[in-house]
Structure 1
Amino acid sequence: MSQSGVAEGSNGAEEPKMEGASRKAIIAAASANLVIAVTKALAWLLTGASSMLAEAIHSVADTTNQIVLMIGGKVSHKKADEDHPFGYERVRYLSGFIVAVVIFSVGGLFALYSSYEKIRDTLAGKPDELLDSRWWWVPLVVTLISACAEGASLRTALKESKTDRDGLTVLQYIRKAKAPELPVVMMEDSAAVLGLIFAFLGVGLTVLTHNPVFDGIGSACIGVLLVVVAAILSREMKSLLEGESATPESRQAIHDALSNSDGVDSVIYMKTVHLGPDTILLAAKIAVDPGDSALEVARIIDNAEVAVRAAEPLVGPLFLEPDIRYGDRRIKDDEKRPEDEI
């Protein structure tokens, strides 16, 4: 029989904590979206511009999203309990997924419906409020001011993520990031700026050509944009919820730390999964010398734990199982060891 056992790291995962960069970006985005939502709604009430209504709903959805992200960050601080032994940090992933659904259902679908109504009424020959209003210029001013505010919010998110991105493009960062807040805010703000360009063109072309269809097309472009953003975010958040492994760089660092730890002959296998953005669960089987005593094996495991956490501080719950290799393979329970044949 081979010696075997399981050891868990004595230092459990730290309480999940939302990074200051994420919180700052969320607060900046929420503040901007709240003010912009009210402004866009007033512009819609004054002119009846379909693009302004779509953008107002978009901003309301974005504000709600930021609130959901902040709630998720707060809940993730809850301490582990009997029913949730690994803590609540994955709530942050759930918040990101809910945000994607909100963008799609509230923002995207409403914008598409608003576009349909505008184009239908125009083709039916109904008079257009925007062209009949003396406030036709208000939506243009609102979109320009809103674009500046959203651009400032996006600039904050890009600035706060600069260290984490480490030369990656925005899309690459969104695909690889384990923390959902900054990628979500960056996608939202990028969509907001592009959506405002669509709204400005829709209203502007309507005023210039006296054809309300352009306003409806602008609203449709906003809807399609939001659906695309929602699909991208949903896909990434779904992957995080399912359980992604640590990054290749982290896995290599952990593997090297185990392999080079005193008393460890080799790593038989190793598995990692992100319990949350700030916590990695590690389970590994390590090969030790057949002649090691139980006390020596315990010491080897303790030293390996220290080495792993020094190499990758995000490692929280840690399970190491000692085993024995014979030649190029592990000794099975029903096989003889070399010393048994002497």
Structure 2
Amino acid sequence: MRTGSETTEPHPIKANIVLIGALVANLGIAVAKFVAAAISGSSSMLTEGIHSLVDSGNQVLLLYGQHRAKRPPDALHPFGYGRELYFWAFVVAILIFAVGAGVSIYEGWRHIREPEPLRDPLINYIVLAVAMLLEGTSWAIAVRKFDRERQGAGWWRAVRRSKDPTTFIVLFEDSAALLGLIIAALGVWASHALGDPRIDGLASIGIGVILALVALLLARESKGLLIGESADPDLLAGVWSVLDDYPAITSVNHVRTVHTSPEVVFVAISADFDDSLPMGDAERLIERIEADLSARFPQLTSIYVRPESAECAVRHPRPVLRPV
């Protein structure tokens, strides 16, 4: 009996304007910050330059991950390469922690131990103002995109439910960048106002701590996607609802799903069919179920239906939708 259907091509992963916009902004900001740091000798400005450079590298890696994830299935990877994007998202989290946070904290500690003489901070303020404008623009684009995707759900719940790491990584990176700019500006101002260059080093450490916290959060979310997360509860409920429309199904034992990329879901269904149903009719019924599910939920590119008696199957309860 044929119990599965599968499309030959995975869902396309769309080019991300959020990533491209963030990359262009961060490259320009990084150059400006390094120039300002060289002129002023500011530790927090140097840290901010490293931060922007790391962010630029992260966007390149995510774009590369998107490109690699578009490859079609083959004999070695029959469900495609979509989850490679999750691998590169995890690498990004590691880079933020190891390079961004690590270097920032080290630079801050070094400037506290060996403070440099204060110089004219004007160039710092100019660069920080321009950087805040560019980062704010990138942040606003990421917020608008994420706001459309969350569909009324709370922000934190939307992050936990999101299967596309590119959106929430850029959102968190830009949020951390804006906080870092504010801390850097306060550090530069306080260093000159109080005549103590060590304050600038403390600001650098503060930026590093923020990056470390963001990196740990991103690593946690990316790890879940890399291991394999189930589909959104709304999609699961929709699959169960479709199965309810078939009287010949006496019991649904379980519906198991896993994302193989942000927009592609594998689903395996175990159902108990009416014992009086002839085998030929059961095959045609399974074909109709698969066609129905594919039509209603295009992201279900691999659908497998397994006839299994309720007594022998491992049963999973029907998901209960929570209010957003």
Q: Cα distance, 1:172 vs. partner?
A: 2.8
Q: Cα distance, 1:259 vs. partner?
A: 2.6
For residue 100 of structure 2, the aligned residue among 102, 107, 111 is 107
Once the two structures are superposed, what CA deviation does each residue of 1:16-60 show, in whole Å capped at 9, x if it has no partner? 42335xx11001100000000000000011011000110000000
Look up the equivalent residue of 2:13 and give its one-letter code.
Answer: M
Look up the equivalent residue of 1:181 and give its one-letter code.
Answer: T
Measure the CA separation in 1 of the matches of 2:312 and 2:149. 40
Give the match for residue 37 of structure 2. Answer: 44
For residue 305 of structure 1, the aligned residue among 290, 293, 298 is 290
Measure the CA separation in 2 of the matches of 1:109 and 1:228. 12
Q: How does 1:128-277 map to 2 (within 5 A)?
A: 128-129=116-117, 131=118, 133=119, 135-261=120-246, 263-277=248-262
Measure the CA separation in 1 of the matches of 2:12 and 2:215. 25
Contact 1:261/1:307 (8 A) holds in 2: no
Measure the CA separation in 1 of the matches of 2:154 and 2:88. 24
Measure the CA separation in 2 of the matches of 1:247 and 1:184. 19
Q: Cα distance, 1:6 vs. partner?
A: 5.3
Measure the CA separation in 2 of the matches of 1:233 and 1:76. 19
Give the match for residue 17 of structure 1. Answer: 12
Once the two structures are superposed, what CA deviation does each residue of 1:67-89 show, in whole Å capped at 9, x if it has no partner? 00000000011111111010000
Measure the CA separation in 2 of the matches of 1:18 and 1:261. 33
Measure the CA separation in 2 of the matches of 1:67 and 1:288. 50
Measure the CA separation in 1 of the matches of 2:156 and 2:69. 26
Measure the CA separation in 2 of the matches of 1:137 and 1:187. 29
Look up the equivalent residue of 1:11 and give its one-letter code.
Answer: T
Contact 2:2/2:283 (8 A) holds in 1: no
Measure the CA separation in 2 of the matches of 1:37 and 1:98. 21
Say which SS state the counterpart of residue 249 (structure 2) adopts: coil
Measure the CA separation in 1 of the matches of 2:55 and 2:191. 27
Give the match for residue 280 of structure 2. Answer: 295
Of 308-317 and 99-108, more deviation after overlay is shown by 308-317
Say which SS state the counterpart of residue 267 (structure 1) adopts: strand
Give the match for residue 281 of structure 1. Answer: 266
Q: Closer, same or farther in 2 for the Cα pair 1:261/1:308, shift >3 Å?
A: farther
Aligned residues between the structures: 313
Measure the CA separation in 2 of the matches of 1:262 and 1:314. 25
Say which SS state the counterpart of residue 161 (structure 1) adopts: helix
Q: TM-score, normalised to structure 1's length?
A: 0.88
Say which SS state the counterpart of residue 164 (structure 2) adopts: coil
Contact 1:289/1:324 (8 A) holds in 2: no
Q: Cα distance, 1:271 vs. partner?
A: 1.0
Measure the CA separation in 2 of the matches of 1:170 and 1:199. 27
Say which SS state the counterpart of residue 114 (structure 2) adopts: helix
Q: TM-score, normalised to structure 2's length?
A: 0.93
Measure the CA separation in 1 of the matches of 2:308 and 2:155. 43
Stretches of structure 1 that go unaligned for 5 or more consecutive residues are 123-127, 332-342
Measure the CA separation in 2 of the matches of 1:69 and 1:140. 31
Stretches of structure 2 that go unaligned for 5 or more consecutive residues are 314-324
- Aligned residues: percent identity? 33
Give the match for residue 338 of structure 1. Answer: none
Contact 2:251/2:271 (8 A) holds in 1: yes
Larger radius of gyration: 1
Say which SS state the counterpart of residue 257 (structure 1) adopts: helix
Q: Cα distance, 1:178 vs. partner?
A: 0.5
Measure the CA separation in 2 of the matches of 1:198 and 1:245. 39
Q: Cα distance, 1:192 vs. partner?
A: 0.4
Q: Is 1:61 aligned with 2:54?
A: yes
Q: Is 1:7 aligned with 2:3?
A: yes
Measure the CA separation in 1 of the matches of 2:6 and 2:35. 58
Contact 2:11/2:299 (8 A) holds in 1: no
Measure the CA separation in 1 of the matches of 2:40 and 2:24. 25
Give the match for residue 79 of structure 2. Answer: 86
